Structure 1
């Protein structure tokens, strides 16, 4: 397999912002009822670290809580995220399905490499019927290092990729591309930060811009 396009999920394909506050509010309300939290939901703190693995999220948001409590909160939050997806409270970014169809039509396999957990990613893929276009979905949960560069390496090695692209909105996506000798495409979407996007090989404002980059880059190789 010569070329492939590897996508991040949250803030790149899926509008996580539409369910994030709902699920986080539900989770911290649960903590308040149990006497384990006092104060507003730390949504702004979460937005700042959006894209990191969930264990890092809870260490950041709940620094005074023990590991068992964090694991319980993680499980509760995951259930609320999935329920909100199933209830149709989320959405894909405009142009996702059209881009997938065009990439498949032109012979570019599509993969997902995400810091999201397996059950969460599967809920999105199932709800929006993305399996029709996606070759395989990879979760950070599948590797011990919690490093997205290592996760992308799993795809590169399994499918013997000679070249390809990593598309995402955060520095972890850009660095994962660099670590594996792939081209990075940064998405200037909801959670993106300009200082991180400066590290990308290309930056897009809309998913519709990606096909042209992929086509031109692969034609010149």
Structure 2
């Protein structure tokens, strides 16, 4: 029987705020925008286009390309020294692999960015399947395609945002909500809510 655990990245595996807040503040300062830390954190986990819509409404093509380049450059520099997973994440992933679970990523980012983040936080080796925006327009479609690709018999989703739980529900799989992430109020209807990453293994065993 194929059993898979599908993970969001930002706010679930990755302590994104350690570098992303400053990266966004630097890019915004170049444009004479001043947006507070909490507003930036509220964007973590959104798709690139949704972040632009929230911060600017819209950008012309040239402005959009420059914005994306600035964010990539600032994050790349800051990630080298600051990128970290949440406490207990690596031990949990290792335990799940040891128990025979397949591990997959489902993210609102593109594949190149996902690989860079997983490399920076030292977790690439645990994931055999990456579900990114290269597979679909949103996480609902990404999970559906991951299901076809892996042929799992049972699976569950682990995440920290409302669109994670919506994607799990739309695909008929249980959801583990990470209260330690960036939007704990959004995941209180999860099948299981965990307060720290070390609790994920037990939640997975309970659900699948």
After superposition, where does 1:35-114 map in structure 2 within 5 Å? Answer: 37=32, 39-63=33-57, 65-85=59-79, 87-114=80-107
TM-score, normalisation: structure 2 = 0.92
Q: Any idea what SS the aligned residue of 1:137 has? A: strand
Alpha carbons of 1:60 and 1:48: their partners in 2 closer, same or farther (altered >3 Å)?
same
State the partner residue of 1:154. 145
State the partner residue of 1:125. 118
Question: Post-superposition, which runs of at least 4 consecutive aligned residues in structure 1 deviate over 4 A?
Answer: none
C-alpha offsets along residues 49-73 of structure 1, whole Å, 9 cap, x if unaligned?
3321111111221126424312320
Offset of 1:75 from its aligned partner? 2.4
Alpha carbons of 1:144 and 1:206: their partners in 2 closer, same or farther (altered >3 Å)?
closer
Distance in structure 2 (CA, Å) of the matches to 1:144 and 1:138: 9
State the partner residue of 1:34. none
Offset of 1:97 from its aligned partner? 1.0
Distance in structure 2 (CA, Å) of the matches to 1:202 and 1:135: 25
Alpha carbons of 1:94 and 1:113: their partners in 2 closer, same or farther (altered >3 Å)?
same
Q: Which runs of 5+ in 2 are unaligned?
A: none
Instruction: Please tell me whether Structure 1 or Structure 2 has the larger radius of gyration of its CA atoms.
Output: 1
Say if 2:138 is the partner of 1:138.
no
Alpha carbons of 1:117 and 1:30: their partners in 2 closer, same or farther (altered >3 Å)?
farther
Say if 2:159 is the partner of 1:168.
yes
Distance in structure 2 (CA, Å) of the matches to 1:144 and 1:72: 24
Query: Which has the larger displacement, 3-12 or 52-61?
Result: 52-61
Contact 1:101-1:133 at 8 Å conserved across structures? yes
Distance in structure 1 (CA, Å) of the matches to 2:102 and 2:189: 25
Q: Which runs of 5+ in 1 are unaligned?
A: 32-36
Question: CA-atom RMSD, angstroms?
Answer: 1.8
Say if 2:11 is the partner of 1:6.
no
